[in-house]
Amino acid sequence: MTEGATGSTVPRRQLGRYLRDLRNKPRLTVRAAATALEWSEAKIWRIESGHTSMRSLDVETMCRIYGAPADMTEALMALAKETKARGWWLSYNDVIPEGFDVYIGLEEAAARFQWYESELVPGLLQTEDYARTVIQAGQPGVAEAEIERRVQVRMERQVILERVTSTPEVNIVINEAILRRPVGGEKCMVAQLAHLIEIAELANVAIKVIPYTAGMHHGIISNPFVMLDFPTNGNGTLTEPPIVYVEGFTGALYLDKVHEIERYSVAFAGIWNAALAEATSKSLIVESIKELDK
Protein backbone atom coordinates (compact mmCIF):
# COMPACT_ATOMS: atom_id res chain seq x y z
CA MET A 1 0.00 0.00 0.00
CA THR A 2 1.22 3.45 -0.77
CA GLU A 3 1.15 6.53 1.36
CA GLY A 4 -0.84 8.40 -1.23
CA ALA A 5 -3.55 5.76 -1.26
CA THR A 6 -4.11 4.94 2.38
CA GLY A 7 -2.95 8.13 4.08
CA SER A 8 -2.39 7.68 7.79
CA THR A 9 -5.43 5.55 8.68
CA VAL A 10 -3.82 2.12 8.64
CA PRO A 11 -0.55 3.17 10.37
CA ARG A 12 -2.59 4.96 13.06
CA ARG A 13 -4.68 1.88 13.73
CA GLN A 14 -1.62 -0.39 13.73
CA LEU A 15 0.22 1.87 16.17
CA GLY A 16 -2.86 2.11 18.39
CA ARG A 17 -3.13 -1.68 18.63
CA TYR A 18 0.56 -2.08 19.50
CA LEU A 19 0.31 0.57 22.20
CA ARG A 20 -2.86 -0.96 23.61
CA ASP A 21 -1.20 -4.37 23.77
CA LEU A 22 1.82 -2.87 25.53
CA ARG A 23 -0.46 -1.18 28.07
CA ASN A 24 -2.44 -4.35 28.67
CA LYS A 25 0.65 -6.51 29.17
CA PRO A 26 1.38 -5.10 32.67
CA ARG A 27 -2.42 -4.81 33.20
CA LEU A 28 -2.28 -1.05 33.23
CA THR A 29 -5.76 0.50 33.02
CA VAL A 30 -6.54 3.42 30.74
CA ARG A 31 -7.03 5.58 33.83
CA ALA A 32 -3.67 4.58 35.29
CA ALA A 33 -1.92 5.16 31.96
CA ALA A 34 -3.56 8.56 31.59
CA THR A 35 -2.47 9.53 35.10
CA ALA A 36 1.12 8.41 34.50
CA LEU A 37 1.27 10.27 31.19
CA GLU A 38 -0.64 13.30 32.50
CA TRP A 39 -3.10 12.97 29.62
CA SER A 40 -6.86 12.54 29.54
CA GLU A 41 -8.43 9.09 29.25
CA ALA A 42 -10.10 10.32 26.06
CA LYS A 43 -6.69 10.96 24.51
CA ILE A 44 -5.56 7.42 25.32
CA TRP A 45 -8.73 6.06 23.74
CA ARG A 46 -8.23 8.14 20.58
CA ILE A 47 -4.65 6.92 20.24
CA GLU A 48 -5.50 3.28 20.78
CA SER A 49 -8.46 3.38 18.38
CA GLY A 50 -6.34 4.98 15.63
CA HIS A 51 -8.17 8.30 15.52
CA THR A 52 -5.15 10.56 15.83
CA SER A 53 -1.61 10.89 14.49
CA MET A 54 1.32 10.61 16.90
CA ARG A 55 4.64 12.30 17.57
CA SER A 56 7.63 10.01 17.95
CA LEU A 57 8.50 11.62 21.30
CA ASP A 58 5.03 10.85 22.68
CA VAL A 59 5.33 7.25 21.53
CA GLU A 60 8.73 7.01 23.20
CA THR A 61 7.21 8.28 26.46
CA MET A 62 4.36 5.77 26.30
CA CYS A 63 6.76 2.92 25.59
CA ARG A 64 8.86 3.93 28.59
CA ILE A 65 5.81 4.03 30.87
CA TYR A 66 4.64 0.66 29.55
CA GLY A 67 8.06 -0.96 29.86
CA ALA A 68 8.54 -1.71 26.16
CA PRO A 69 11.94 -3.07 25.04
CA ALA A 70 14.27 -0.79 23.09
CA ASP A 71 13.75 -2.48 19.70
CA MET A 72 9.96 -2.26 20.02
CA THR A 73 10.20 1.39 21.06
CA GLU A 74 12.36 2.19 18.04
CA ALA A 75 9.97 0.40 15.65
CA LEU A 76 6.91 2.17 17.05
CA MET A 77 8.61 5.56 16.89
CA ALA A 78 9.24 4.92 13.19
CA LEU A 79 5.61 3.88 12.72
CA ALA A 80 4.52 7.12 14.42
CA LYS A 81 6.06 9.10 11.56
CA GLU A 82 3.80 7.25 9.10
CA THR A 83 0.70 8.36 11.03
CA LYS A 84 1.21 11.86 9.67
CA ALA A 85 0.90 10.79 6.01
CA ARG A 86 -1.84 12.63 4.11
CA GLY A 87 -4.50 10.94 2.01
CA TRP A 88 -6.30 12.67 -0.90
CA TRP A 89 -9.44 13.07 1.21
CA LEU A 90 -7.81 15.41 3.71
CA SER A 91 -8.34 18.27 1.27
CA TYR A 92 -12.06 17.70 1.87
CA ASN A 93 -11.79 17.70 5.67
CA ASP A 94 -14.19 20.62 5.90
CA VAL A 95 -17.06 18.54 4.49
CA ILE A 96 -16.25 14.98 5.59
CA PRO A 97 -18.37 13.91 8.59
CA GLU A 98 -16.43 13.54 11.83
CA GLY A 99 -14.70 10.16 11.98
CA PHE A 100 -15.54 9.19 8.39
CA ASP A 101 -11.97 9.96 7.29
CA VAL A 102 -10.99 6.80 9.20
CA TYR A 103 -13.37 4.75 7.07
CA ILE A 104 -12.18 6.28 3.79
CA GLY A 105 -8.60 5.36 4.65
CA LEU A 106 -9.62 1.79 5.45
CA GLU A 107 -11.69 1.64 2.26
CA GLU A 108 -8.63 2.68 0.26
CA ALA A 109 -6.54 -0.08 1.84
CA ALA A 110 -9.10 -2.91 1.62
CA ALA A 111 -8.54 -5.98 -0.52
CA ARG A 112 -12.15 -7.22 -0.28
CA PHE A 113 -15.57 -5.71 0.49
CA GLN A 114 -18.57 -7.72 1.66
CA TRP A 115 -21.41 -5.21 1.71
CA TYR A 116 -25.12 -5.39 2.43
CA GLU A 117 -27.49 -2.46 1.93
CA SER A 118 -31.23 -2.44 2.51
CA GLU A 119 -32.42 1.09 1.72
CA LEU A 120 -30.03 2.94 -0.60
CA VAL A 121 -27.54 2.16 -3.35
CA PRO A 122 -24.09 1.83 -1.70
CA GLY A 123 -21.97 4.98 -1.91
CA LEU A 124 -19.32 3.31 -4.09
CA LEU A 125 -21.98 2.60 -6.73
CA GLN A 126 -23.92 5.88 -6.72
CA THR A 127 -24.20 8.27 -9.67
CA GLU A 128 -23.65 11.97 -9.05
CA ASP A 129 -27.35 12.82 -9.23
CA TYR A 130 -28.35 9.98 -6.90
CA ALA A 131 -25.58 10.89 -4.44
CA ARG A 132 -26.59 14.55 -4.54
CA THR A 133 -30.20 13.65 -3.69
CA VAL A 134 -29.14 11.46 -0.76
CA ILE A 135 -26.66 13.98 0.62
CA GLN A 136 -29.12 16.87 0.35
CA ALA A 137 -31.73 14.87 2.25
CA GLY A 138 -29.26 14.15 5.03
CA GLN A 139 -27.97 17.74 5.21
CA PRO A 140 -30.99 20.05 5.14
CA GLY A 141 -30.11 23.73 4.99
CA VAL A 142 -26.49 23.14 3.98
CA ALA A 143 -25.09 25.45 1.29
CA GLU A 144 -25.07 24.13 -2.28
CA ALA A 145 -21.28 24.51 -2.55
CA GLU A 146 -20.77 22.22 0.45
CA ILE A 147 -23.22 19.67 -0.95
CA GLU A 148 -21.24 19.61 -4.19
CA ARG A 149 -17.98 19.03 -2.34
CA ARG A 150 -19.55 16.13 -0.46
CA VAL A 151 -20.74 14.69 -3.75
CA GLN A 152 -17.21 15.04 -5.13
CA VAL A 153 -15.78 13.09 -2.19
CA ARG A 154 -18.19 10.26 -2.96
CA MET A 155 -17.20 10.27 -6.62
CA GLU A 156 -13.47 10.32 -5.76
CA ARG A 157 -13.92 7.25 -3.54
CA GLN A 158 -15.22 5.24 -6.49
CA VAL A 159 -11.85 5.33 -8.24
CA ILE A 160 -10.77 2.28 -6.24
CA LEU A 161 -13.20 0.08 -8.19
CA GLU A 162 -11.13 0.43 -11.37
CA ARG A 163 -7.65 1.29 -10.15
CA VAL A 164 -4.85 -0.49 -11.98
CA THR A 165 -3.01 -1.89 -8.96
CA SER A 166 -4.43 -3.56 -5.83
CA THR A 167 -7.92 -3.65 -7.29
CA PRO A 168 -10.28 -4.82 -4.52
CA GLU A 169 -12.77 -7.66 -4.75
CA VAL A 170 -16.24 -6.18 -4.20
CA ASN A 171 -19.23 -8.34 -3.31
CA ILE A 172 -22.43 -6.37 -2.74
CA VAL A 173 -25.97 -7.44 -1.95
CA ILE A 174 -28.79 -4.90 -2.16
CA ASN A 175 -32.40 -5.24 -1.10
CA GLU A 176 -35.00 -5.29 -3.89
CA ALA A 177 -36.63 -2.25 -2.25
CA ILE A 178 -33.66 -0.16 -3.43
CA LEU A 179 -34.59 -0.89 -7.05
CA ARG A 180 -38.19 0.16 -6.51
CA ARG A 181 -37.48 3.44 -4.70
CA PRO A 182 -37.13 6.31 -7.26
CA VAL A 183 -34.61 8.40 -5.34
CA GLY A 184 -34.22 11.72 -7.14
CA GLY A 185 -37.14 10.94 -9.45
CA GLU A 186 -37.63 8.41 -12.22
CA LYS A 187 -34.98 9.81 -14.61
CA CYS A 188 -32.33 9.87 -11.87
CA MET A 189 -33.21 6.34 -10.80
CA VAL A 190 -33.13 4.92 -14.32
CA ALA A 191 -29.61 6.32 -14.76
CA GLN A 192 -28.62 4.89 -11.38
CA LEU A 193 -29.89 1.40 -12.18
CA ALA A 194 -28.16 1.51 -15.57
CA HIS A 195 -24.96 2.44 -13.73
CA LEU A 196 -25.35 -0.62 -11.47
CA ILE A 197 -25.48 -2.85 -14.54
CA GLU A 198 -22.39 -1.15 -15.96
CA ILE A 199 -20.40 -1.52 -12.73
CA ALA A 200 -21.45 -5.16 -12.39
CA GLU A 201 -19.58 -5.86 -15.65
CA LEU A 202 -16.27 -5.20 -13.91
CA ALA A 203 -14.38 -8.43 -13.24
CA ASN A 204 -13.79 -7.54 -9.59
CA VAL A 205 -17.38 -6.53 -8.78
CA ALA A 206 -20.33 -8.81 -8.04
CA ILE A 207 -23.77 -7.30 -7.38
CA LYS A 208 -26.68 -9.43 -6.22
CA VAL A 209 -30.25 -8.54 -5.28
CA ILE A 210 -32.10 -10.09 -2.39
CA PRO A 211 -35.77 -10.25 -3.44
CA TYR A 212 -38.87 -9.70 -1.37
CA THR A 213 -39.62 -13.39 -1.88
CA ALA A 214 -36.51 -14.36 0.09
CA GLY A 215 -38.56 -13.91 3.24
CA MET A 216 -36.64 -13.88 6.50
CA HIS A 217 -32.85 -13.57 6.06
CA HIS A 218 -29.78 -12.46 8.02
CA GLY A 219 -29.86 -8.92 6.64
CA ILE A 220 -33.17 -8.18 8.33
CA ILE A 221 -31.51 -8.81 11.68
CA SER A 222 -28.05 -7.38 10.97
CA ASN A 223 -29.14 -4.21 9.14
CA PRO A 224 -26.72 -2.67 6.58
CA PHE A 225 -22.98 -3.20 7.07
CA VAL A 226 -19.66 -3.35 5.25
CA MET A 227 -17.00 -5.92 6.11
CA LEU A 228 -13.50 -5.04 4.95
CA ASP A 229 -10.67 -7.54 4.53
CA PHE A 230 -7.12 -6.37 3.96
CA PRO A 231 -4.14 -7.69 1.96
CA THR A 232 -1.36 -9.80 3.40
CA ASN A 233 2.32 -9.01 3.76
CA GLY A 234 5.03 -11.01 2.04
CA ASN A 235 5.09 -13.42 4.99
CA GLY A 236 1.36 -14.11 4.68
CA THR A 237 0.22 -12.09 7.70
CA LEU A 238 -2.60 -9.57 7.37
CA THR A 239 -1.58 -5.93 7.09
CA GLU A 240 -4.72 -5.10 9.08
CA PRO A 241 -7.30 -7.36 10.75
CA PRO A 242 -10.80 -7.47 9.22
CA ILE A 243 -13.23 -4.79 10.31
CA VAL A 244 -16.98 -4.29 10.09
CA TYR A 245 -18.30 -0.77 9.55
CA VAL A 246 -21.87 -0.08 10.65
CA GLU A 247 -23.20 3.39 9.91
CA GLY A 248 -25.93 4.90 12.10
CA PHE A 249 -27.99 8.07 11.98
CA THR A 250 -25.86 9.82 14.62
CA GLY A 251 -22.56 7.95 14.32
CA ALA A 252 -20.78 4.81 13.20
CA LEU A 253 -19.31 1.67 14.72
CA TYR A 254 -16.01 0.01 13.82
CA LEU A 255 -16.15 -3.62 14.96
CA ASP A 256 -12.99 -5.73 14.96
CA LYS A 257 -13.29 -8.28 17.76
CA VAL A 258 -12.96 -11.88 16.57
CA HIS A 259 -16.48 -12.89 17.65
CA GLU A 260 -17.93 -9.80 15.93
CA ILE A 261 -16.17 -10.56 12.66
CA GLU A 262 -17.28 -14.19 12.82
CA ARG A 263 -20.89 -13.23 13.40
CA TYR A 264 -20.98 -10.78 10.50
CA SER A 265 -19.18 -13.30 8.26
CA VAL A 266 -21.97 -15.79 8.94
CA ALA A 267 -24.56 -13.07 8.33
CA PHE A 268 -23.08 -12.07 4.97
CA ALA A 269 -22.80 -15.69 3.85
CA GLY A 270 -26.49 -16.12 4.66
CA ILE A 271 -27.43 -12.92 2.82
CA TRP A 272 -25.30 -13.87 -0.19
CA ASN A 273 -26.89 -17.31 -0.41
CA ALA A 274 -30.41 -15.91 -0.04
CA ALA A 275 -29.86 -13.40 -2.86
CA LEU A 276 -30.56 -14.06 -6.53
CA ALA A 277 -27.73 -15.19 -8.78
CA GLU A 278 -25.80 -12.37 -10.46
CA ALA A 279 -27.43 -12.94 -13.85
CA THR A 280 -30.91 -13.09 -12.35
CA SER A 281 -30.16 -9.98 -10.31
CA LYS A 282 -29.17 -8.16 -13.49
CA SER A 283 -32.46 -9.20 -15.11
CA LEU A 284 -34.38 -7.82 -12.12
CA ILE A 285 -32.51 -4.50 -12.40
CA VAL A 286 -33.32 -4.34 -16.12
CA GLU A 287 -36.97 -5.07 -15.32
CA SER A 288 -36.97 -2.23 -12.79
CA ILE A 289 -35.55 0.17 -15.41
CA LYS A 290 -38.35 -0.75 -17.82
CA GLU A 291 -40.97 -0.16 -15.17
CA LEU A 292 -39.57 3.28 -14.34
CA ASP A 293 -38.90 4.30 -17.94
CA LYS A 294 -42.40 3.87 -19.33
DSSP-assigned letter for residue 235: T
Q: Which amino acid is located at 287 in the chain?
A: E
Q: Average pLDDT, whole number, for the chain?
A: 89
Q: Do 59 and 116 share a structural domain?
A: no
pLDDT digits (tens, 9 = 90+) for 203-233: 999 999 999 999 999 999 999 999 999 988 7
Q: Are residues 120 and 217 in the same domain?
A: yes
Write down which residue in 82, 97, 131 finishes a domain. 82
How many C-beta atoms surround the C-beta of residue 145 within 10 A? 9
Report CA torsion sign: 217, 177, 243, 169: positive
- pLDDT of 7 higher than 70: no
pLDDT over 70 (residue 5)? no
120 and 229, same domain (yes or no): yes
Q: What pLDDT shows up at residue 125? A: 97
Looking at residue 91, what is its pLDDT?
A: 72
Confidence band for 82, pLDDT divided at 50, 70 and 90: confident
Task: Tell whether 138 and 250 lie within a shared domain.
Answer: yes
CA quadruple 190, 192, 193, 199: dihedral sign:
positive
- Side-by-side strand order, sheet with 112-117: 205-210, 169-175, 112-117, 225-229, 243-247, 252-255
**Section 240-267 average pLDDT:** 89
Question: Residue 4's pLDDT band (boundaries 50, 70, 90)?
Answer: very low
pLDDT at 101 over 80: no
**Up-side HSE of residue 203: CA atoms within 13 Å toward CB?**
3
Sequence-distant (6+) residues with CB within 8 A of 32 are none
Lowest-pLDDT range of 92-106, 118-132, 197-211? 92-106
Q: Which of 82, 112, 127 is the last residue of a domain?
A: 82
| Final residue in a domain of this structure, among 56, 82, 108 | 82
Of residues 47 and 99, more confidence is placed in 47
- 35 and 167 housed in the same domain: no
Q: Is there a single domain that holds both residue 23 and residue 140?
A: no
Same domain, 74 and 148: no
Q: What is the pLDDT of residue 89?
A: 67
Return the bridge partners of 198, or none: none
For residues 66 and 148, state if they share a domain.
no
Same domain, 281 and 173: yes
193 and 72 belong to one structural domain: no
The C-alpha torsion from 99 through 115 and 11 to 248, rounded to 10°, is: 20
Specify whether 59 is located in the same domain as 187. no
Percent of the chain surpassing pLDDT 70: 95
Distance, in Å, from the CA atom of 10 to the CA atom of 50, rounded to the nearest integer, reads 8
* CATH code of the domain containing 12: 1.10.260.40
DSSP assignment letter at 124:
G
**Tally of domains within the chain:** 2
Confidence band, pLDDT 50/70/90 cuts, at residue 3: very low
pLDDT in tens, 11-47: 888 888 889 989 998 889 999 999 999 999 999 998 9
117: CB partners within 8 A, 6+ apart: 172, 173, 174, 175, 178, 224
Are 102 and 73 found together in one domain? no
Q: Look at residue 1 and tell me whether its pLDDT is greater than 60.
A: no
Q: Whole domain around residue 29: which residue ranges?
A: 3-82
In our burial notation (b when 16+ CB lie closer than 10 A, e otherwise), range 212-223 reads: eebeebbbeebe
Distance between CA atoms of residues 41 and 35, nearest Å: 8
State the DSSP code for 276. Answer: P
CATH code assigned at 270: 3.30.870
Over residues 127-146, the mean pLDDT reads: 92
